[in-house]
């Protein structure tokens, strides 16, 4: 993370809403920290970032984000250790990815010094919203949207970059049941699957609702061309443990280059666990479930960190996964969170201290 030398316009909140929050019983995304950052792109350049009290933004009904979906976002977390120190986890990766997503959606890339200056200022102002303790964090949501008024089908010439924050606890507290997609697809070759574009997620809601009607919490997405290859799970990257080996799909223009995914691979390799990054067929996983060699399936992502899968459905056949001793999923989740919460050494240099 580069040192920032950006001046910000700061308007502090006159009072805090933190007293209204029950931090022991949080609903994800219900409460937001006292401050947010907004920065507008006007006349070909990003203006001075503003730190403001969290609140509504006024926009034209014809703003292009509403009509043509020019919107990208990121998900990050800030953690507080037992001594009250605040840490970010691999924030440079999130910054690079939102600009990669922006470029694909014809949104101007955001300056690095603006991003990190605003981020650190927000965490300093709202440090009381970051709670220590396992599972607690402050979820950070940067996003960029097209704000030009006009319904002509063309890229906007005005944009707004925003960062908001909300307190969070563990996302999936118990294993989930999933179904393998056979009809709907998350993304296609040449599309925007690799980007955190808002439309990718909106398009998932309908098939996910159908899955939930059948008793499954998430979908394992397959490739759009043949539905033979497993790619992602819900909003997460996906890992399969076959015997003592981990297998996961390679990233491409359909699959998100997940920060947690990359971290799990690095941790596994350090533990001398074999990792194969290759295409994974539905047939292979069904056969592994039937012959007993499929030990685990788990998803990885910022919100959940690691989410265990208890079983999967394919073509109306449900395959329950075995309960294994010392599962990889929980091993890696603990190792990752020990680094995030400053409970263990960080041999990778992933952890970044924030002065608050």
* In the block, residue with structure tokens 């007993």: 292
Structure tokens at 252: 């491409």
| R_g of the chain, CA atoms, integer Å | 21
Structure tokens at 199: 């439309």
Residue 303: per-residue pLDDT = 87
The structural domains of the chain, with segments of one domain joined by +, span 9-168, 176-340
- Dihedral angle sign, alpha carbons of residues 271, 276, 282, 286: negative
Query: In terms of C-beta density within 10 A (0-12 exposed, 13-18 middle, 19 or more buried), how is residue 45 classed?
Result: exposed
User: pTM for the whole thing?
Assistant: 0.95
Count of CB atoms within 10 A of residue 12's CB? 10
pLDDT tens for each residue of 279-333:
999 999 999 999 999 999 999 999 889 999 999 999 999 999 999 999 999 999 9
Give the CATH class of 9-168.
alpha beta
Query: Are the C-beta atoms of 240 and 276 separated by less than 8 Å?
Result: no
- Report, at the CATH architecture level, how domain 176-340 is classified: Alpha-Beta Barrel (3.20)
Query: Are the C-beta atoms of 280 and 229 separated by less than 8 Å?
Result: yes
For a pLDDT cut of 90, what percent of the chain falls above it?
A: 95
Band (pLDDT 50/70/90 cuts) for residue 99 is very high
- Phi and psi at 42, nearest 5°, equal -135, 140
Structure tokens at 79: 């953690």
Taking the C-alpha atoms of residue 165 and residue 158, their distance in angstroms, rounded to an integer, is 24
Structure tokens at 107: 């949104």
pLDDT tens for each residue of 113-124:
999 999 999 999
Residue 235: per-residue pLDDT = 86
pLDDT tens for each residue of 152-205:
999 999 999 999 999 999 777 789 999 999 999 999 999 999 999 999 999 999
Instruction: State mean pLDDT over 28-32.
Output: 95
| pLDDT surpasses 80 at 238 | yes
Residue 171: per-residue pLDDT = 75
Residue 3: per-residue pLDDT = 46
Maximal C-alpha separation, the chain? 63
Residue 202: per-residue pLDDT = 94
pLDDT tens for each residue of 51-89:
999 999 999 999 999 999 999 999 999 999 999 999 999
Strands 275-277 and 317-320 come out as unpaired
């Amino acid at each position: 993370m580069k040192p920032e030398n950006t001046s910000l316009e700061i308007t502090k909140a006159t009072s805090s809403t933190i007293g209204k929050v029950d931090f022991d019983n949080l609903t994800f995304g219900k409460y937001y920290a006292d401050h947010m950052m907004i920065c507008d792109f006007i006349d070909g350049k990003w203006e001075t970032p503003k730190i403001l009290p969290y609140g509504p933004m006024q926009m034209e009904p014809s703003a292009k984000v509403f009509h043509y979906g020019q919107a990208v976002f990121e998900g990050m977390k800030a953690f507080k250790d037992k001594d009250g120190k605040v840490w970010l986890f691999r924030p440079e990766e999130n910054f690079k990815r939102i600009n990669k997503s922006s470029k694909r959606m014809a949104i101007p890339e955001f300056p690095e010094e603006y991003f990190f200056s605003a981020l650190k200022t927000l965490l300093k102002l709202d440090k009381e919203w970051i709670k220590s303790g396992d599972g607690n964090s402050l979820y950070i949501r940067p996003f960029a949207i097209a704000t030009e008024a006009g319904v002509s089908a063309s890229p906007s010439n005005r944009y707004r970059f925003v960062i908001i924050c909300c307190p969070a606890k563990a996302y999936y507290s118990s294993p989930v049941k999933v179904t393998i997609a056979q009809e709907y697809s998350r993304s296609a070759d040449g599309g925007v699957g690799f980007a955190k574009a808002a439309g990718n997620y909106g398009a998932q809601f309908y098939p996910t609702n159908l899955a939930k009607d059948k008793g499954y919490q998430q979908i394992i997405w397959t490739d759009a061309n043949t539905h033979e290859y497993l790619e992602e799970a819900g909003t997460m990257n996906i890992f399969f443990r076959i015997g003592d080996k981990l297998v996961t799909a390679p990233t491409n223009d359909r699959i998100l280059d997940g920060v947690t995914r990359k971290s799990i691979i690095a941790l596994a390799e350090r533990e001398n666990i074999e990792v194969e990054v290759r295409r994974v067929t539905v047939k292979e996983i069904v056969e592994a479930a039937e012959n007993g060699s499929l030990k685990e399936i788990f998803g990885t992502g910022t919100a959940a960190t690691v989410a265990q899968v208890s079983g999967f459905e394919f073509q109306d056949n449900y395959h329950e996964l075995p309960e294994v001793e010392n599962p990889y999923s929980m091993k890696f989740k603990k190792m990752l969170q020990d680094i995030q919460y400053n409970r263990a050494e960080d041999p990778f240099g992933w952890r970044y201290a924030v002065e608050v």
